[in-house]
Structure 1
Amino acid sequence: MASVDQLDITPPHPPKEHAIEAFEHVEHEIKHAIVASRRDWDKHEPKMWALASQVSDHDLVNFTMKDDLVVVRSAVTSYGPIILGKIRIRAIKLDSAGELVPSEVEKDAHGKIKVETKHGKIDDDKLGFIFVRIHDPPGDGIENVKFHSLFTDEGKDKDGNNNGYYRAIQSNSKPLEFFNE
């Protein structure tokens, strides 16, 4: 298993075609993992998915990689490249402090969630994000891409003990960093 000290990870950048295709290949698994993670955490620590508490599972995973994978980073490991992705969750509206803004999910005629725009672009500073890690083993293009994990932030104090902070939904201001979960 790779650690951040062993990796030369690329700076954050918009996804190129290969990254979009790789994430699309495992999109169903990512969506399934999000719903399963939420259900599992809700049993023992509902704070983890609290920002999604007012959102249905369907709306939580109502994203596409083409439209909502906004930032990626990658690194080569001994077992092949890993790609980290920041996926926009249109149904989660956040305020400037990164806290939930209670609101109804509005949809267009095609069932796509409407979002606030700024100068014709989606205002990502008011939306939630999920961070995902995938593995792209050497070989057959995207056919071997595997879903690895979701980032769930369990705040730790200086002694490594949990400080009561849990968050699976991140604000846009949270940098996409390597995670090994």
Structure 2
Amino acid sequence: MATSEIVNFNDPHPPTIKGIEAFKHVEKDIKTGIIKSRHHWDKHEPKMWSRADGLSDHDLVHFDLEKDLVEIRSAPVSYGTIILGKLRLPAVNDEEGEGFVHVRVHDPPNRGTEDVTFHSLFTNEGDHDADGHPHSWKAVQTRDTPLEFFNE
């Protein structure tokens, strides 16, 4: 299993054609994942997706990968490549600015993009109190939130 200690990501950069193709292959799964995550967290901790309050599911996931995938990073692992992407959600633009989700996909070796799979979304349970319980939640990131390894 990959951990931040053993995975060596390249520097954040604009997406390459190959990166866009990988994300396009799993676009439907990304959209489904965003909606599922939002519904899940709305039942347990509505603050997680609070920046998307008032948006329909359709509006939330209405993005164009060629325009809205703004940054990627990748790293080789023994079972292929992990690709992280910073994806703009055009419908989210509030006092914090534009909204982004961080997406993780996996590209197994030797088959092109046909076997790329959606892995997860970054949901930050932020700061913790003295007892170790989170007291901030954020699934929609800002432009300045670094695109770093996550294993959700």
Give the TM-score taking structure 1 as reference length. Answer: 0.81
Percent identity reads 52
Q: Are the counterparts in 1 of residues 128 and 135 from structure 2 also a CA contact under 8 Å? A: no
Give secondary structure in 1 for the equivalent of 2:110. Answer: coil
Q: Are the counterparts in 2 of residues 155 and 162 from structure 1 also a CA contact under 8 Å? A: no
Aligned to 2:143: 172
Aligned to 1:140: 111
Q: Kindly indicate whether residue 123 of structure 2 is the aligned counterpart of residue 152 of structure 1.
A: yes
Q: Are the counterparts in 2 of residues 154 and 162 from structure 1 also a CA contact under 8 Å? A: no
Q: 2: distance between equivalents of 1:47 and 1:156?
A: 13
Q: Which moved more, 1:158-167 or 1:145-154?
A: 158-167
Runs of 4+ with >4 A deviation: none
Q: 1: distance between equivalents of 2:129 and 2:75?
A: 28
Listed as ranges, the gaps of 5+ residues in structure 2 are: none
Q: 1: distance between equivalents of 2:73 and 2:10?
A: 5
Root mean square deviation of aligned Cα: 1.4
Compute the displacement of 1:54 (Å): 1.5
Compute the displacement of 1:78 (Å): 1.3
Counting matched residue pairs gives 152
Compute the displacement of 1:160 (Å): 8.0
Q: Which amino acid aligns with 1:142?
A: T
Q: 2: distance between equivalents of 1:15 and 1:160?
A: 40
Give the TM-score taking structure 2 as reference length. Answer: 0.95
Aligned to 1:109: none
Q: 1: distance between equivalents of 2:17 and 2:133?
A: 38
Aligned to 1:38: 38
Larger Rg: 1
